[in-house]
Amino acid sequence: MQGPSIGGVSVPRGDGKTVIQVRQGASLTDFADKINASPGSLVTVMFHLGEMATATQSLDEDTFRLLGAELGYDIRMVSPEEEEKELFDAFSINLEIGVDAEDEEDLAARPPVVTVMGHVDHGKTRLLDAIRNENVAGGESGGITQHIGAYQIHKEHEGVDRPITFIDTPGHEAFTAMRARGAKVTDIAILVVAADDGVMPQTIEALNHAQAADVPIVVAVNKIDVEGANPSKIRQQLTEYNLVAEEYGGETMFVDVSAKQGENIDALLEAVLLTADAALDLRANPDRDARGVAIEANLDKGRGATATVLIQSGTLRVGDAIVTGSSYGRVRAMLDEHGQNLTEATPSRPVQVLGLSSVPRAGDTFVVAPDDRTARQIAERRESADRQASLAKARKRISLEDLNEAIAQGKVDTLNLILKGDVSGSVEALEDALLQIDVGEDVDLRIIDRGVGAITMNNINLAVASNAIIIGFNVRAEGLNADYAEREGVEIRYYSVIYQAIEEIEQSLKGMLKPEYEEVELGTAEIREIFRSSKFGNIAGSIVRSGEIKRGTRARITRNGVVVSENVEIAGLRRFKDDVTEVREGFECGINLGSYNDLQIEDLISTYEMREKPRA
């Protein structure tokens, strides 16, 4: 149905019940596609509704509803998850995994997948090495030679050979980054606590992350070889966080180990299996097309894009067409952690896959598709969905500028900071000074990580997972990392003077950070005719479409909804022969834009003013 024209444009209209699905982060161009309209016409409609939007800017739900109500469409916003499900439904691929989604007789036991977490320097990396080595000594052929992001070991338990899969990226950062993408990989977390150091901030952080994900914890009390180590103190400390040791009547297994001396590692593995058997139903259907998660990926000079995937359900075979994230291909070869070729991989097995078109991201799910073409189509659809999603995310998760507002609205009660500096002295000085800020009662200031060196991917992932702001003191995030932070909406503030960093953070906590400005639209005019004048340059013969046009204000020129220029001055304004200071809606006028000359008929001139935004 072609409705009455709005503001000189006509747009196909719905009957009020026509449902249009819009994905989060969509723009007017996406919406125009769905209703067969031109993006420019929707920009004009938005003007008339009092909203200034460009064709490609991503809009929020309320704005789409406003537009929908005007045009007779029932807008339904879809989440990325719903969209993903619809995408796979369209190709008849079943995404459901897990015990409940399968018939009882199809299920077979699968090994537990374990992540090692804990405070920095408490021995996570060393423990992962010790577990690997223990297994070599235990007769594993060849030893574990390759780093592929995960490995599997074997442990004899009650006379049965039981494999266990370890994610080889220690820390809750990677765990949480994957969870942020919707991938649940870990079945059990080993929380490493150094007996000579005790419970530290990241111990609690890790514990919180594991508990939030409903992942059972086994505590490895490490460094018991160090003199003065006090394992029972760790048990005591952790009771405060709802981790009560079995010997104290709780449900959590604590094992005292020395990663350095390889002591008690076997008992730790035993505890992992006992906890898995008691708390979890670890079964999967091996007889279906494989599905899983990419846990690590990189570009290899000789072999092209490689990804380590963890199989969660089904069996992956060489020759399968797969799609992971927006990357696709045919499995050319599969390697295990010993660098040996595999022809098939069953649930909980990590394998390095060769043959993908590009490098997926950690946390991307992968599925086997019926054929190459379907794999490619799914990858392409996902890629465009990703682009939309990243546009939507470009808004900052949390920023110093709006911190106070967020606190007032109860959205945050903690300012989490990650400090990175060029030398440890300055990081410490900054941390000390920050912790002395009197922050008032409404908010906590926490420094959840600090370190020396450039801002890394890991820092950014932690910031994503914990809603933190990163402070770079004489260091920066570069290249890919800077792009990643931008995409994920993580704020990074750079400083080279300590007191300046402290002052800004203090002011933001008190809501006194420099005033914020917002753009207020004053009026829009549409160009109907262009007069060339040698004396004055071009004059745009225009009609004022909304508000009023004032001399001396700043304007933005848009053409078919696309901004062609910003910050152009309304240098002169005329009605017939008279110079005037303002012209109101509905009237014609001549607009002189000074030396700016790139004008076309139907361009929109919108004027705006920056006004100080009152603080909440």
- Binding residues for ligand GDP, rule: CB under 6 A, are 118, 120-126, 170, 222-223, 225-226, 258-260
The nearest distance, CB 266 to ligand GDP, in angstroms, is: 15
- Separation of alpha carbons 587 and 575, rounded Å: 9
The nearest distance, CB 488 to ligand GDP, in angstroms, is: 24
Alpha carbon distances (Å) from 338 to 127, 156, 301, 308, 501: 19, 20, 20, 13, 48
The nearest distance, CB 228 to ligand GDP, in angstroms, is: 11
The nearest distance, CB 99 to ligand GDP, in angstroms, is: 33
Give the three-state DSSP class for 95. coil
- Separation of alpha carbons 345 and 366, rounded Å: 14
The nearest distance, CB 293 to ligand GDP, in angstroms, is: 23
The nearest distance, CB 518 to ligand GDP, in angstroms, is: 45
The nearest distance, CB 225 to ligand GDP, in angstroms, is: 5
Nearer residue to ligand GDP within complex by CB, 122 or 291: 122
Nearer residue to ligand GDP within complex by CB, 203 or 558: 203
- The partner residues of 421 in beta bridges, in order of sequence, read 452, 473
- Separation of alpha carbons 520 and 97, rounded Å: 50
Nearer residue to ligand GDP within complex by CB, 420 or 545: 420
The residue number with the shortest CB distance to ligand GDP is: 123
Cα–Cα nearest to 127, from 165, 166, 163, 90: 166
Cα–Cα nearest to 366, from 312, 314, 324: 324
Nearer residue to ligand GDP within complex by CB, 242 or 261: 261
Nearer residue to ligand GDP within complex by CB, 124 or 551: 124
- Separation of alpha carbons 85 and 42, rounded Å: 29
How many beta carbons lie within 10 A of that of residue 131, not counting itself? 26
Nearer residue to ligand GDP within complex by CB, 74 or 197: 197
Nearer residue to ligand GDP within complex by CB, 130 or 148: 130
Alpha carbon distances (Å) from 485 to 96, 171, 334, 357, 361: 32, 20, 32, 25, 14
Q: Is the dihedral of CA 226, 229, 231, 235 positive or negative?
A: negative
Strands (E), 338-378: 341-342, 344-345, 350-356, 365-369
The nearest distance, CB 268 to ligand GDP, in angstroms, is: 12
Nearer residue to ligand GDP within complex by CB, 200 or 445: 200
Q: Is the separation of the CB atoms in 201 and 448 below 8 Å?
A: yes
Residue 560 in tokens: 């078919």
Cα 429 to the center of its chain, rounded Å: 31
Give the three-state DSSP class for 335. strand
The nearest distance, CB 175 to ligand GDP, in angstroms, is: 14
The nearest distance, CB 81 to ligand GDP, in angstroms, is: 33
Cα–Cα nearest to 379, from 314, 294, 463: 294
Nearer residue to ligand GDP within complex by CB, 259 or 293: 259
Q: Is the separation of the CB atoms in 64 and 31 below 8 Å?
A: yes
Nearer residue to ligand GDP within complex by CB, 123 or 149: 123
Amino acid making up residue 506: E
Nearer residue to ligand GDP within complex by CB, 188 or 193: 193
Nearer residue to ligand GDP within complex by CB, 26 or 220: 220
Q: Is the separation of the CB atoms in 180 and 213 below 8 Å?
A: no
Cα–Cα nearest to 68, from 113, 32, 95, 100: 32
The nearest distance, CB 257 to ligand GDP, in angstroms, is: 7
The nearest distance, CB 126 to ligand GDP, in angstroms, is: 3
- Separation of alpha carbons 140 and 57, rounded Å: 56
The nearest distance, CB 127 to ligand GDP, in angstroms, is: 7
Nearer residue to ligand GDP within complex by CB, 409 or 424: 424
Cα–Cα nearest to 546, from 575, 585, 593, 511: 585
How many beta carbons lie within 10 A of that of residue 196, not counting itself? 15
